[in-house]
């Protein structure tokens, strides 16, 4: 069946900001879909509030709306664009929920828009637990025994029948939000209570526990001729009980016979048909009892998902791309498999390698959060690795995580019996450190301290991880033990170690020398990895797509080439502080460098290296060659050597992927790799306080007084010299890891004691900066070619200095900065760029305090704000940066049209619309060990997972849009506002509170804040503090009863006071907008005032950029 000819335009809904459970994978799938639909000649209209994505690049869709994914806003877009169809299956649960809302409100019918890819009926059959149970029954499958409950009474009655433990799953939430395992009635009351709240249908499912069963997933596709294929099977190493997003998973499934696999396949196909996913992909999850083989269907997602992104990267079968084609009418056999170029897409990929995915967590950012892994997803990213065996893939995946503690450390002694007992006990509870603990236990078995068979049995009893996986981990431990015990490290043994994924670093630990020596020995023995190809067909057909992974095997498949190549090192797994924004820059580099030189490109062959399956950069379509490999010194050097043997390598880019590749810069350069762009020495100069201080001094630029310390004594001295409050942090960090504001010596001693190793001397110095209270923070992105500076964007933070820039909202153009300040920023940035020796991108953070522009820090690399600046100013600065690194000058880029012919991003036309970037925070994902919400306070340590952009004519409107985009509920238009502020904010609270009262809001305040307001004549009601209680109930009761529409609580003193914490935690639990800084509150009040009567106006990025281009052109003429 050819493509439908009755659809000529389609609205694609994206997934919005990156949040836990819904991350970069939807940028990958959405980008693929938009590109395919345009290739098919359709007009693509996109709505997605996330500016950090490739998907929202203006050349991915015809009309790109970086607007809130809200039914009213989408209605406005539909009314303006009049699409024929809407495709909601590529933007995660957010897009599906938006589509359901559009359908239910009659908006699709009103404008005659057809939903393609899925029907409301199918979505409901898949997502409504009761309906889905019927589906499973009709296809001859079994579900876990369960009860649907709408009230707590229902839940307690159901518990009588099911017994504890039982699983609680709210309906229609994403990433398993709000689900959990209840071991007793108290657990049930808490988890089910939250679940009833989070479920849009006030519905939870209670079901029999299948904890400890084997867990599997199938990715399926179906076309409109009812052809069904299974793209990939995935097995969870962690048994049922851990959310699949938090599980270590492997593809293909490794512990099932064909009989069981075909039973899963039959059930999966039966389910996709019965649910009625007419075209596109879905995943189905299964549990299998390890002793009886009883199969229980867990759930299905009738859409492209995180797993489908993983399956696409694991198999080379691009699910989202194919799903988009199926949605417009093609059948699978009409679509070509791009990897082979000859066979059709109507087949099931065969893998001749093993894929391991390991999630990456951010518990260090939320020390109060319970790190136990449960059925609620908590990971913030993932790494994937491929190898020709499970052992090899596992080792590669562990080192891909870029977390020291995730890699098995072979130094020191094997654990003694006491440690084994302790580790075994700990491994009963799934956590992110369990895998490494198991390896440590197995080391004792491999080194003869424990009996291997007994150890496997004890581990199986404790973890329910399949014995096959445990035996494979034992195999690694045994090979490691052989390496340790061998008299000589001969070629056979070393090759064996490499084949089982043991790194040079680990071999060094085993032999008592450094990783470099291990590398030297390996090379002297002629042992290097080869590169195999992901080809979808296990080599049955020739492949034309160079999608490679390394393995220690015999034959390499890297083809030789003529053109000089540039290697781009990606950013690895997403984490807080290093996310999709860096992937954006890497993708742009590949696009610009790979474009032909006569088409304003670099004319290079591009080579992408990355290990994050969620991203656009690891789509085999982006660079000319893709290496899905860990970003470690060992792995990168080997790729370089293999590529150098294949043809000339003109350069290696480390500047765009964040801290992960940047931290390799110096060692790669020493190993002879041609690092292009800012030199590793210059990168170090910017990081080194002394060297950077000298740069500032030479340029006469003021910086807040600072010092560095290695221990408590010198820290005290430095802090006293600098003057409290001080900002303290370890050097070499991204995302403000470990950064705190300390107000006095007591706080300093506390910080140092928590952050110093036992030796009392830090491994890297502690930086102590004077903290500029009440300063305006300014973030700048710029390009420098050695001669000319291009100021790309100047962002004014809404929060004052002290809140990490990644968590702070900001505006571009800056709302309150005058031309003189901008000019000072321009000259200062230029001086820094020149002083450091930047070639490419530079990010500088300034603080404007009492008229003085202080330099806080400079980072000679792509920053988190690059995509936001690019979208707000209409200039592809990451592409420009890549071309600068490869040798172009800013003057040339201006001529080529990559940069504007004149002017810069600091001098935008006067009536430029305001873009507001707002951070999205994951607090409601986490719970403390006793089940309460974690504190939602902002600080110098970054905690946000993603961001949105609000674009409108004025700041208040843009800010209001950004608030709607982050939560879906937006700023309240009426109701009660609760305010409770620290003493230092009491002056500032009066005006905004008065304004809210004038707008008809009921103002509630704690006694202290209320006194200030009353004296200023602001009508308000006094509410008892959380700890007090009173006749009208305490503030907690008011929040929990849902009576409050907005909470302002600013923290006082060094530590968040208990009262404030309880207020914030209650608001987080209830999903009530909570503001923790006065500045943001002021912005919110401005936004509330500006909320339009009818609906927000919308403007596409293309319109925005056309406006900017027009304004620039007329300025030139003038």
Under the criterion CB under 8 A, does residue 526 sit at the interface with another protein?
Answer: no
Candidates 150-158, 167-175, 474-482, 1092-1100 — which segment interacts with another protein by CB under 8 A?
474-482
Q: Is 723 annotated as a binding residue?
A: no
Under the criterion CB under 8 A, does residue 538 sit at the interface with another protein?
Answer: yes
Q: Please state the separation of Cα 45 from the chain's center in Å.
A: 25
- Minimum distance of another protein from residue 478's CB (angstroms): 6
List the Cα angle 671/672/677 in 5-degree steps. 110
Candidates 126-134, 377-385, 539-547, 823-831 — which segment interacts with another protein by CB under 8 A?
539-547
Under the criterion CB under 8 A, does residue 542 sit at the interface with another protein?
Answer: yes
Q: Which two tokens stand for residue 816?
A: 């309150």
Q: Which two tokens stand for residue 788?
A: 């000319």
Q: Please state the separation of Cα 765 from the chain's center in Å.
A: 29
Q: State yes or no: cis peptide before 252, omega within 30 of 0.
A: yes
Specify whether the backbone of 647 is left (phi greater than 0), alpha (psi in -120 to 50) or beta: left
Whole-number Å distance between alpha carbons of 777 and 796: 6
Whole-number Å distance between alpha carbons of 981 and 1050: 5
* Residue placing its CB nearer to another protein in the complex, 156 or 530: 530
Among 40, 187, 208, 333, binds another protein (CB under 8 A): 333
Whole-number Å distance between alpha carbons of 993 and 237: 54
Under the criterion CB under 8 A, does residue 464 sit at the interface with another protein?
Answer: yes
Q: Of the candidates 879, 777, 786, which has an alpha carbon nearest to the alpha carbon of residue 833?
A: 786
**Please, which of residues 147-206 interact with another protein by CB under 8 A?**
none
Candidates 20-28, 62-70, 374-382, 455-463 — which segment interacts with another protein by CB under 8 A?
455-463
* Residue placing its CB nearer to another protein in the complex, 474 or 875: 474
Under the criterion CB under 8 A, does residue 335 sit at the interface with another protein?
Answer: no
Contacts of 1051 (CB under 8 A, 6+ apart): 937, 982, 1057, 1060, 1076
Q: Is 503 annotated as a binding residue?
A: no
Whole-number Å distance between alpha carbons of 905 and 792: 4
Phi, psi of 193, deg, nearest 5: -60, -50
Candidates 105-113, 351-359, 857-865, 1093-1101 — which segment interacts with another protein by CB under 8 A?
351-359
Under the criterion CB under 8 A, does residue 528 sit at the interface with another protein?
Answer: no
Under the criterion CB under 8 A, does residue 560 sit at the interface with another protein?
Answer: no
Under the criterion CB under 8 A, does residue 486 sit at the interface with another protein?
Answer: no
* Residue placing its CB nearer to another protein in the complex, 273 or 666: 273
Under the criterion CB under 8 A, does residue 1008 sit at the interface with another protein?
Answer: no
- Minimum distance of another protein from residue 550's CB (angstroms): 13
- Per-residue binder mask for another protein (CB under 8 A), 208-227, x = binder: ----x------------xxx
Kindly calculate the radius of gyration of the chain based on its CA atoms and give it in whole angstroms.
Answer: 28
Q: State yes or no: cis peptide before 813, omega within 30 of 0.
A: yes
* Residue placing its CB nearer to another protein in the complex, 202 or 343: 343
Q: Is 802 annotated as a binding residue?
A: yes
Under the criterion CB under 8 A, does residue 350 sit at the interface with another protein?
Answer: yes
Contacts of 641 (CB under 8 A, 6+ apart): 528
Whole-number Å distance between alpha carbons of 734 and 274: 48
Under the criterion CB under 8 A, does residue 580 sit at the interface with another protein?
Answer: no
Q: Which two tokens stand for residue 885?
A: 């690194």
Residue with tokens 């009392």: 760
* Residue placing its CB nearer to another protein in the complex, 289 or 1043: 289
Among 553, 684, 1071, 1115, binds another protein (CB under 8 A): 553
Candidates 9-17, 386-394, 602-610, 687-695 — which segment interacts with another protein by CB under 8 A?
386-394
Q: Of the candidates 877, 882, 868, which has an alpha carbon nearest to the alpha carbon of residue 839?
A: 882
Q: Is 176 annotated as a binding residue?
A: yes
Bridge-based pairing of strands 605-610 and 914-920 is: unpaired
Under the criterion CB under 8 A, does residue 292 sit at the interface with another protein?
Answer: yes
Whole-number Å distance between alpha carbons of 780 and 827: 12
Under the criterion CB under 8 A, does residue 277 sit at the interface with another protein?
Answer: no
**DSSP 8-state secondary structure symbol assigned to residue 223:** -
Among 104, 137, 413, 540, binds another protein (CB under 8 A): 540
- Minimum distance of another protein from residue 457's CB (angstroms): 6
Q: Is 944 annotated as a binding residue?
A: no
**DSSP 8-state secondary structure symbol assigned to residue 675:** B
Residue with tokens 């049930």: 188
- Minimum distance of another protein from residue 251's CB (angstroms): 10
Whole-number Å distance between alpha carbons of 25 and 379: 14
* Residue placing its CB nearer to another protein in the complex, 409 or 453: 453
Contacts of 605 (CB under 8 A, 6+ apart): 561, 563, 564, 565, 566, 594, 624, 625, 647
Under the criterion CB under 8 A, does residue 559 sit at the interface with another protein?
Answer: no
Among 9, 202, 343, 1016, binds another protein (CB under 8 A): 343
* Residue placing its CB nearer to another protein in the complex, 335 or 691: 335
Q: Is 288 annotated as a binding residue?
A: no
- Minimum distance of another protein from residue 266's CB (angstroms): 6
List the Cα angle 119/122/124 in 5-degree steps. 110
**DSSP 8-state secondary structure symbol assigned to residue 559:** P
Under the criterion CB under 8 A, does residue 527 sit at the interface with another protein?
Answer: no
Is residue 806 within 8 A of residue 919, CB to CB? The reply is yes
Whole-number Å distance between alpha carbons of 611 and 635: 11
- Minimum distance of another protein from residue 288's CB (angstroms): 9
Q: 280-304 burial, b if ≥16 CB within 10 A, otherwise e?
A: bbbbbbbbbebeeeebbbbbbbbbb
Candidates 29-37, 397-405, 460-468, 636-644 — which segment interacts with another protein by CB under 8 A?
460-468
Total residues contacting another protein by CB under 8 A comes to 66
Q: State yes or no: cis peptide before 703, omega within 30 of 0.
A: no
Which DSSP string do the residues of 297-313 spell out, in sequence order?
Answer: EEEEESS--HHHHHHHH
* Residue placing its CB nearer to another protein in the complex, 541 or 724: 541
Candidates 193-201, 304-312, 468-476, 1042-1050 — which segment interacts with another protein by CB under 8 A?
468-476
Among 290, 564, 705, 909, binds another protein (CB under 8 A): 290
Under the criterion CB under 8 A, does residue 844 sit at the interface with another protein?
Answer: no
Q: Is 859 annotated as a binding residue?
A: yes
List the beta bridge partners of residue 284.
218, 300
Angle in degrees, 0-180, between the axes of helices 258-275 and 120-127, rounded to the nearest 10: 130
- Minimum distance of another protein from residue 836's CB (angstroms): 47
Under the criterion CB under 8 A, does residue 451 sit at the interface with another protein?
Answer: no
Q: Which two tokens stand for residue 843?
A: 């990010």
Among 18, 107, 322, 354, binds another protein (CB under 8 A): 354
Which DSSP string do the residues of 1022-1040 spell out, in sequence order?
Answer: E-B-TTT--TT-BHHHHHH
**Please, which of residues 254-273 interact with another protein by CB under 8 A?**
254-259, 261-262, 265-266
* Residue placing its CB nearer to another protein in the complex, 250 or 611: 250
The secondary structure element, H or E, covering residue 881 is helix 877-885
List the Cα angle 960/966/969 in 5-degree steps. 70
Binding-site annotation: residue ranges for ATP: 129, 169, 175-176, 208, 210, 215, 241-243, 285, 299, 729, 770, 772, 777, 802-805, 845, 857
Annotated binding site for Mg(2+): 285, 299, 301, 845, 857, 859
The site for another protein (CB under 8 A) is made up of 212, 225-227, 229-230, 233, 252-259, 261-262, 265-266, 290-293, 331-333, 342-344, 346-354, 388-390, 452-453, 456-457, 460-461, 464, 466-468, 471, 474-475, 478, 482, 532, 537-542, 553-555
Residues contributing to the annotated binding site: 129, 169, 175-176, 208, 210, 215, 241-243, 285, 299, 301, 729, 770, 772, 777, 802-805, 845, 857, 859
- Feature table: binding site for Mn(2+): 285, 299, 301, 845, 857, 859
């Amino acid at each position: 069946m050819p493509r439908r000819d009755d659809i000529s335009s389609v609205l694609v809904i994206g997934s919005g900001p990156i949040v836990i459970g819904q991350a970069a994978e939807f940028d990958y799938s959405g980008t693929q879909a938009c590109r395919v639909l345009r290739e098919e000649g359709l007009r693509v209209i996109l709505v997605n509030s996330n500016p950090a994505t490739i998907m929202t690049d203006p050349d991915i869709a015809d009309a790109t709306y970086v607007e809130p994914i809200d039914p009213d806003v989408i209605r406005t877009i539909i009314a303006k664009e009049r699409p024929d169809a809407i495709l909601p299956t590529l933007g995660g649960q957010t897009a599906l929920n938006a589509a359901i809302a559009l359908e239910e409100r009659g908006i699709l019918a009103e404008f005659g828009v057809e939903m393609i890819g899925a029907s409301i009926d199918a979505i409901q059959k898949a997502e409504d637990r009761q309906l889905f149970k019927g589906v499973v029954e009709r296809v001859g499958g079994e579900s876990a025994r369960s009860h649907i409950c709408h009230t707590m009474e229902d839940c307690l009655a159901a518990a009588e029948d099911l017994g504890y433990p039982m699983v609680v799953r709210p309906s229609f939430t994403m990433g398993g939000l709000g689900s959990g395992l209840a071991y007793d009635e108290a657990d049930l009351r808490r988890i089910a209570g939250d679940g009833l709240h989070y479920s849009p249908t006030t519905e939870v499912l209670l079901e029999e526990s299948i904890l400890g069963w084997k867990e599997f997933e199938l990715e399926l596709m179906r076309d409109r001729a009812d052809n069904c294929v299974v793209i990939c099977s995935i097995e969870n190493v962690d048994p049922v009980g851990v959310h699949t997003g938090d599980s270590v998973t492997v593809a293909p499934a490794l512990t099932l016979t064909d009989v069981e696999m075909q039973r899963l396949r039959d059930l999966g196909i039966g389910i996709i048909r019965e649910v009625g996913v007419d075209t596109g992909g879905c995943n189905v999850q299964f549990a299998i009892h390890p002793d009886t083989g009883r199969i229980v269907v867990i759930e299905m997602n009738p859409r492209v998902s995180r797993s489908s992104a993983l399956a696409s990267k694991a198999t080379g079968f691009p699910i989202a791309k194919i799903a988009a084609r199926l949605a417009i009418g093609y059948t699978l056999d009409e679509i070509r498999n791009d990897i082979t170029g000859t066979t059709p897409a109507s087949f099931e990929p065969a893998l001749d390698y093993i894929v391991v995915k390991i999630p990456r967590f951010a518990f260090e950012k939320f020390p109060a959060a319970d790190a136990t892994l449960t059925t609620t997803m908590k990971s913030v990213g993932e790494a994937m690795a491929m190898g020709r065996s499970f052992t090899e893939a596992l080792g590669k995946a562990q080192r891909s995580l870029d977390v020291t503690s995730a890699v098995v450390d072979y130094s020191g002694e094997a654990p003694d019996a006491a440690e084994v007992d302790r580790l075994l006990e700990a491994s009963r509870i799934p956590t992110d450190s369990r895998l490494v603990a198991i390896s440590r236990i197995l080391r004792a078995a491999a080194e003869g301290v424990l009996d291997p068979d007994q150890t496997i049995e004890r581990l199986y009893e404790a973890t329910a991880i399949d014995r096959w996986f445990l035996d494979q981990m034992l195999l690694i431990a045994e090979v490691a033990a052989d390496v340790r015990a061998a008299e000589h490290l001969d070629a056979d043994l070393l090759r064996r170690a490499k084949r089982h994924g043991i790194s040079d670093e680990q071999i060094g630990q085993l032999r008592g020398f450094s990783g470099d020596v291990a590398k030297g020995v390996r090379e002297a023995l002629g042992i290097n990895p080869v590169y195999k190809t992901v080809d979808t067909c296990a080599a049955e057909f020739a492949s034309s797509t160079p999608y490679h992974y390394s393995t220690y095997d015999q034959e390499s498949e890297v083809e030789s080439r003529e053109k000089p190549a540039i290697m781009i090192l990606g950013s690895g797994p997403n984490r807080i502080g290093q996310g999709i924004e860096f992937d954006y820059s890497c993708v742009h580099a590949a696009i610009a460098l790979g474009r032909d030189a006569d088409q304003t490109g670099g004319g290079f062959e591009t080579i992408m290296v990355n290990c994050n399956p969620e991203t656009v950069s690891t789509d085999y379509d982006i660079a000319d060659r893709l290496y899905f490999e860990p970003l470690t010194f060992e792995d990168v050097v080997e790729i370089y050597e293999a590529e150098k043997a294949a043809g000339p390598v003109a350069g290696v880019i480390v500047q765009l992927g964040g801290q992960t590749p940047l931290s390799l810069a110096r060692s790669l350069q020493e190993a002879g790799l041609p690092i292009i762009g800012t030199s590793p020495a210059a990168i170090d100069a910017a990081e080194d306080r002394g060297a950077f201080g000298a740069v500032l001094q030479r340029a006469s630029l003021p910086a807040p007084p600072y010092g560095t310390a290695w221990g408590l004594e010198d820290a005290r001295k430095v802090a006293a010299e600098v003057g409290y409050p001080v900002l303290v942090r370890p050097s070499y960090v991204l995302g403000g890891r470990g950064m705190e504001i300390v107000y006095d010596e007591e706080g300093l001693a506390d910080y140092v004691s928590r952050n110093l190793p036992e030796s009392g001397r830090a491994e890297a110095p502690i930086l102590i900066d004077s903290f500029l209270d009440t300063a305006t923070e300014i973030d700048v992105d710029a390009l420098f070619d050695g001669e000319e500076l291009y100021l790309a964007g100047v962002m004014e933070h809404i929060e004052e200095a002290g809140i990490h820039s990644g968590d702070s909202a900001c505006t571009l153009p800056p709302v309150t900065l005058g031309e003189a300040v901008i000019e000072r920023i321009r000259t200062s940035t230029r001086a820094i760029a020149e002083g450091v020796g930047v070639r490419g991108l530079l990010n500088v953070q300034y603080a404007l305090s009492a008229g003085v522009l202080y330099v806080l820090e400079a980072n000679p690399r792509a920053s988190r704000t690059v995509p936001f600046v690019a979208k707000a100013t209409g200039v592809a600065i990451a592409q420009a940066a890549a071309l600068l690194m490869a040798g172009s000058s800013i003057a040339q880029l201006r001529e080529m049209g990559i940069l504007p012919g004149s002017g810069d991003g600091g001098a935008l036309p006067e009536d430029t619309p305001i873009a507001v970037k707002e951070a999205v925070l994951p607090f409601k994902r986490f719970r403390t060990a006793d089940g309460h919400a974690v504190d939602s306070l902002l600080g110098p340590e970054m905690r946000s997972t993603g961001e949105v952009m609000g674009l409108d004519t004025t700041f208040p409107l843009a800010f209001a849009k950004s608030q709607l985009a982050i939560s879906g509920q937006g700023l309240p238009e009426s109701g009660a506002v609760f305010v409770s502020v620290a003493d230092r904010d009491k002056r500032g609270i009066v005006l905004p509170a008065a304004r809210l009262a004038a707008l008809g809001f009921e103002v509630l305040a704690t006694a202290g804040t209320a006194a200030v307001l009353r004296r200023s004549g602001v009508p308000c009601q006094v509410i008892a503090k959380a700890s007090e209680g009173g006749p009208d109930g305490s503030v907690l009761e008011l929040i929990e009863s849902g009576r409050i529409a907005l909470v302002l609580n600013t923290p006082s003193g060094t530590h968040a006071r208990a009262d404030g914490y309880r207020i914030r935690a209650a608001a987080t639990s209830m999903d009530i907008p909570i503001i923790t800084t006065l500045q943001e509150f002021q912005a919110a009040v401005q936004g509330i005032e500006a909320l339009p009567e009818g609906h927000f106006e919308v403007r596409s990025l293309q319109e925005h950029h056309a406006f900017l281009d027009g304004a620039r052109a007329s300025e030139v003429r003038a």
